[in-house]
Amino acid sequence: MGIKSKIRTRIGRVRDSIGVFLTWMENEIPSYRHYRLYKIYSARYKNYLELRHFENKKAEGEDAYLEKWKALSPRVEPYSYRFFSHYCGHTPNIVPEDIGHSYIEDVLNPRALRPAYYDKNLFGEIIGKENVPRTIVCRVNGGQLLDAEFRLAEKELPEYIGETESLILKPSGDSRSGRGVVKFIKKGDVYVSTDGKTTLSKAFLESYREDFCLQEAVDQHIFMKMLCETSNNTIRLFLYRSVKDEKPRVTASVIRIGKNGVFADNACASGMFVGVNVATGEMGKYVVDQYGNKENVWNGMDFSRSSFIVPQWKEIVSFAEYVSNRIHHHRLMVLDLVLKNDGKPILTEYYIDWFGFWIYEYTNQEVFGEFTDEIIDYCKKMKKN
């Protein structure tokens, strides 16, 4: 081996060692993770203040905000408050994203107990198969194609599909922001992706590189179709299961609405979202995008002039509480639900970390609501350095 090759090899080993060390720091030392996130979110919300032409100066109530969150970290960035106070008022309960991810999630939702809960193929095992979209076939842990009962899928694909008109393929792990999610529509005797590039087949699924689930697309309730007929408009609920009485509560909620003609309802895919009053199910008077731009009219609907109530709201909240009680190790949870044509809520996704507190604050909601102080006090008592 020449001297250049030896140098490159040694540099590669050093890089690998540094990467391992930084990963260890990220996982084991919240103060390191918080410092990194503090820098990221400080820069982000400074930029958002500029984008929205909001003044970047000390705001009314900022001292109370800083004092509240200093209970968890001596370093509290003010820019989240200066930005989101334009949407939810001068409340100290605006959550600094960096502190939320570093000092709250890791206490209430232990990292070591997260991975298995994230496999969508296990959702039906945890909360009941009747509460999730019907699985056609799936892959678990890099193995062979399996049917809905986790048996080897030896039949031809049409025998598992039946008469379904549309299907959803998604990674069974992380599919945030719609990553890797594909919708297939029946055209004649085959299913073709909405972009027209892929025809569904057993060979295609066998070549798919990661674990996945292929599910029947849910036929939405007429009210949800009214918001946008081309997208699966999801009801997103934030829940906290109290450390004091073990009861789960829905503390904030939004509905994500796609753009007419687009399948995805994610804000990063041109979608918008609207707040929902968790006590009544009444929708807000405006929709908003991921940068905080508000619109009163979306897909031809004027939210400012109507009082829309989400149908079956009590049933939706009860179902969300049921799911929370099945995820025993984690006190914070975000659920994405779709409402079937018969009014039954169906779980499509849940999250137990990286919650995105901002989405609720854009819609004039406090993420933790009346439980903010309870959460801060408990996390202060339990947090590591």
Q: How far is CA 313 from CA 75, 160, 231, in A?
A: 39, 33, 20
Cβ proximity of 62 and 370 under 8 Å: no
Structure tokens at 125: 């095992």
For the chain, first and last CA: distance in Å?
Answer: 46
Whole-angstrom distance, CA of residue 264 vs CA of residue 267: 9
3-state secondary structure of 170: strand
Q: Which residues contact 141 (CB under 8 A, 6 or more apart)?
A: 211
- What pLDDT score does 22 carry? 42
Quick one: which of 221, 173, 189, 150 has its CA closest to 181? Answer: 173
Cβ count near 329 (within 10 Å): 13
Cα-Cα-Cα-Cα torsion 257, 292, 69, 351, nearest 10 degrees, comes to: 20
- Partnered with residue 347 across adjacent β-strands are 337
- What pLDDT score does 268 carry? 59
Whole-angstrom distance, CA of residue 372 vs CA of residue 157: 49
- What pLDDT score does 3 carry? 64
Q: Mark 176-192 as b/e (b = at least 16 C-beta within 10 Å).
A: eeeebbbbbbeeeeebb
Q: How far is CA 261 from CA 85, 194, 228, 310, 311, in A?
A: 34, 11, 8, 23, 24
361, containing H or E segment:
helix 358-361
CA angle 252-255-260, nearest 5°? 165
pLDDT digits 0-9 by tens, 321-335: 999 999 999 999 999
Q: Which residues of the chain have pLDDT under 70?
A: 1-30, 175-178, 263-269, 385
Q: How far is CA 246 from CA 109, 112, 242, 249, 262, in A?
A: 14, 21, 5, 10, 40
Cα-Cα-Cα-Cα torsion 224, 227, 233, 234, nearest 10 degrees, comes to: -70
Quickly list DSSP for 195-248.
TSS-B--HHHHHH--S-EEEEEPP-B-HHHHHH-SSS--EEEEEEEE-TTT--E
Q: Residue 126 burial (CB < 10 Å; 0-12/13-18/19+)?
A: middle
- What pLDDT score does 306 carry? 83
- What pLDDT score does 13 carry? 53
- What pLDDT score does 20 carry? 39
CA torsion through residues 125, 126, 129, 133, sign = negative
Neighbour order of strands in the sheet with 212-216: 135-139, 212-216, 166-171, 182-187, 190-193
- What pLDDT score does 68 carry? 98
Cα-Cα-Cα-Cα torsion 171, 176, 180, 181, nearest 10 degrees, comes to: 90
Structure tokens at 274: 């609207």
Whole-angstrom distance, CA of residue 175 vs CA of residue 137: 17
CA angle 195-291-108, nearest 5°? 95
